[in-house]
Amino acid sequence: MASETKDGAEGLESSGRRTVLKAGAAVAGASVLGFPAIVRAQSDKIKIGHLTPLSGFLGTVGGYARLGVALALEEVNQAGGIMGRQVDLIAEDSVNPSVASTKAQRLLEQDKVVLLLGEINSASALTISQVAGRNQKLFFSTGARSDALRGKSCNRFMFHMDTSTTANVKGVGTALVRDNMIQNKKLFTLTADYVFGHDLLKAAKAFIGAHQGTLVGDELIATDVTDFSPYLLKIRQAKPDVVCSNLAGNQVTTFLKQYAEYGLKYPIVGFNLNTADAWGAGYDNFGGIWPMVWYHTLDNPSSRAFVEAFIKKNGKPPEHHAWTDYLALKVVAQAMNEIKSLDPMKMIEHLEKGAEFDILKARKGHFRNWDHQMLQEEYTVRLKTPKSAVKDKWDILELGPAVPAANQPLDIVATTREENNCTAWM
């Protein structure tokens, strides 16, 4: 994986895709004092576990997540660490739900990490959260969007950095209703066949039905499918007014490329998008309206600083999973420094009281106390036009205005208690 040669990682185990991301500064400083100081510095470090997929259909975005958290680690340690102690990150390729569960348990039992963060696959995030809950350790889920993780499968030890499936649907849906793309229209959906896709389809169907749209096609697609021609033929036969993508990971890239090759012109709406998948499709294949939680062109001081540091270190701009994982470690460090404790329950109580964080957007974010969702601004994106205005291959998307607007509460696009109630602790 290219990211493992760029992120400064040490101690890679080739068989298990394990990387120990180390601070470096504290050990180097201690070396002038002699070996005992080195031992003391190493044993006094705070260990945090990071899990994300580095292979499979989410491997590309997982690589960005690894780069983002590596940058955060450097910055946290350079700023004094957590309560004056340096931080080591033990990073694992989560692979799939079963492997993710096993590795999460090993990180807690053998490596003695104080908490877990990361993950993009919603099914893997569920198994990690179950391990975290049994061990009463915190898990900051950075990229898993399934509503179920915030509802029937919620866990008081799990917090959510990214937006949910319902929030994605509502955010894009607002634009669709405005542009008269649902009412009395025929829509055809393509959905990733795993827990996240199923949740996304459920939310999409509810929104489409509530706004008088009609589904004329509804296809579940395995995450390892690379040939979309059977589904493209069905789209051509159905002649929908709008094609809706509930796909995930590199499915999106593959679909968009083949959609363009088939010459289909039906408008595309996406209810889920990884920035890297849009980049992978390229300017000439990308189109439609899609949700976006963060993009590297956001113009505010903290976002610009993050983007500049990331480009300097990695030679390319950060994808939004780099942002979520970077942010997760920054949030953890800030919260622990504020309460001056590593205790999970003290952290939970602090976050549930509404602690605010700079999340590199115009407005600060905070976790909702009843489902631990980070409430925050979201956006829609379209293809940037004209093509002559595009600076490079990463500059193909144009952000719409923030949703909610500055004068609206942050929770208006999030799930309500009636839609997705979490009752695990309230």
Mean pLDDT of the chain: 90
Q: Residue 295 in 3-state DSSP? A: coil
CA-closest candidate to residue 60, choices 256, 277, 261:
277
* 11 backbone φψ class: left, alpha, beta (φ>0; ψ -120 to 50): left
Domain edges within the chain: 2-163+299-375, 166-292+378-420
CA-closest candidate to residue 323, choices 256, 275, 286, 290:
275
pLDDT at 25: 43
| Distance of alpha carbon 416 from alpha carbon 373, whole angstroms | 11
- pLDDT, tens digit, 9 for 90 and up, residues 178-220: 889 999 999 999 999 999 999 999 999 999 999 999 999 999 9
Question: How are strands ordered across the β-sheet holding 365-367?
Answer: 356-357, 365-367, 374-375
Check pLDDT > 80 for residue 426.
no
Check pLDDT > 80 for residue 17.
no
Which fold is adopted by the domain 2-163+299-375? Answer: Rossmann fold (3.40.50)
- pLDDT, tens digit, 9 for 90 and up, residues 43-73: 599 999 999 999 989 999 999 999 999 999 9
Please, which pLDDT band fits residue 311 given cuts at 50, 70 and 90? Answer: very high
| Distance of alpha carbon 297 from alpha carbon 64, whole angstroms | 17
Q: Residue 292 in 3-state DSSP? A: strand
- Which tops the pLDDT comparison, 186 or 32? 186
Question: How are strands ordered across the β-sheet holding 46-52?
Answer: 10-13, 18-21, 87-93, 46-52, 115-118, 138-141, 158-160
Q: Which CATH class is domain 166-292+378-420?
A: alpha beta
- pLDDT, tens digit, 9 for 90 and up, residues 95-139: 999 999 999 999 999 999 999 999 999 999 999 999 999 999 999
Check pLDDT > 70 for residue 10.
no
- pLDDT, tens digit, 9 for 90 and up, residues 144-161: 999 999 999 999 999 999
Check pLDDT > 50 for residue 37.
no
- pLDDT, tens digit, 9 for 90 and up, residues 68-91: 999 999 999 999 999 999 999 999
Do 2-163+299-375 and 166-292+378-420 agree at the fold level? Answer: yes
Q: What is the mean pLDDT of residues 161-175?
A: 91
pLDDT at 175: 84
